[in-house]
Amino acid sequence: MSSLAIRLRHAFGAASIDVTLDLPGQGVTAIFGPSGAGKSVLIQALAGLFRPQLCRFATGNRVLADTEAGIWLPPEQRRLGLVFQDARLFPHMSVEANLRFGQRRNRRAAIAGFDEVIDLLGLTALLGRRPHTLSGGERQRVGIGRALLSQPDILLMDEPLASLDQPRREEILPYLRRLTTRFRIPVLYVTHAIEEVAALADHVVLLRDGRVVASAPLREISARGDLPLAQRDDAGAILTCTIASHDHARSLTTLAGAGTPILIPLRPDPPGTALRIRIPAREVILATPDAGALAAVTSLQNVLPGIVCAIRPDHSRAAQLLEVELGDQVLLARVTEDALARLGLAPGAAVLALFKSVAIEVIGGD
């Protein structure tokens, strides 16, 4: 699919939204921000659930809405699959009937076949059951399946895990990862949970008070010290790597993709597997290049040469956030102002980034 062009302006009460976006026509775009940022308003307007004061939504040459040109396709003609916090299943229908409902209403060539969808989402054992007998996670999986079977051009997911407890969220995330890699359907995924962004997103739109703070690939957004994500206690860069080898004797796996090998605790995945890893900024120690011998006398497994490319103040913690280039990827490190001065760090300085292998969070396949 071609890119998705969005222009939206709308005021409601004392709040307003005013955004212009050109989003990728593939992968998962996460719409991220705090409550009241305008995330759900954007999705609802795109879906045609209300008429904004000004908007233009287009996928390639297909215009879904243009208030200035008088174009307004009703929701059923927009070819969008919708998944909300509540799965909104028909209570009088079985799971299978709910799934086939969207299929019957669509005459387009199948992007996602019935058997493939139920296999992907693990729904085979649920087909004969009614919605009231399902857990929250099971209902959401059925809702996602029904949206997929409508053969949408775009899948819109409005905080689909927000109503679930942590165990149910962890249960459903692997299914979401699978569907985003199996089907060539772009996804707009609204959330305020950073762990969902890290696990699923390819591209991220940061919203605040109805305005776009940033829109860029996940890898870039996660390593920007000047963006709101970096001001969180759990700030950290997300890197994309590939498993290079395993050392079973040392219980370590070697990753490639950051300019130099990275060691993590032993993984079951075979060599060649793509992984996303997250390295918390608070876990990164910076040292001058002559400190490489430290690794031999400490528990630190990873000592990576890099270049400081930017330094951003973190006033709330009396600290500094440093962006450190590692090959074609960027690491984020939080250090005290005293450490910055003692080491004489500045943009362009060569450094060593040190961190323990157990500090690395393996998020999943890329």
Query: Sorting pLDDT into bands at 50, 70 and 90, what band is 266?
Result: very high
Whether 4-222 and 236-364 share one fold: the answer is: no
Helix locations, the chain, DSSP H: 39-47, 95-104, 114-120, 136-149, 166-182, 194-200, 218-222, 337-343
For residue range 79-131, list pLDDT tens digits in order. 999 998 887 899 999 999 999 886 766 555 566 788 898 998 889 999 999 99
If one counts every other C-beta atom within 10 angstroms of the C-beta of residue 183, the result is: 17
**Token couple for 178:** 């699978």
Q: Is 95 exposed, middle or buried (0-12, 13-18, 19+ CB in 10 A)?
A: buried
Query: Sorting pLDDT into bands at 50, 70 and 90, what band is 231?
Result: confident
Fold of 4-222: Rossmann fold (3.40.50)
* CA–CA separation, 126 and 117 (whole Å): 13
- 56, 73 in Cβ contact below 8 A? no
What's the pLDDT at 107?
56
* CA–CA separation, 52 and 73 (whole Å): 13
Backbone angles phi, psi at 119, to 5 degrees: -70, -45
For residue range 325-363, list pLDDT tens digits in order. 998 899 999 999 999 999 999 999 999 999 999 999 998
Hey, where are the domains in the chain? 4-222, 236-364
- In sequence order, what are the beta bridge partners of 236? 280
Fold of 236-364: OB fold (Dihydrolipoamide Acetyltransferase, E2P) (2.40.50)
**pTM greater than 0.75 (yes/no):** yes
What's the pLDDT at 207?
95
Mean pLDDT over 286-310 rounds to 83
Q: The tokens 């910055």 sit on which residue?
A: 340
- Exposure pattern of 273-300 as b/e (b: 16+ CB <10 Å)? eebbbbbbbbbbbbbeeeeeeeeeeeeb
In this predicted structure, the answer to whether residue 1 has a pLDDT above a threshold of 70 is: no
Residue 293 vs residue 206, higher pLDDT: 206
Say what percent of the chain tops pLDDT 90: 66
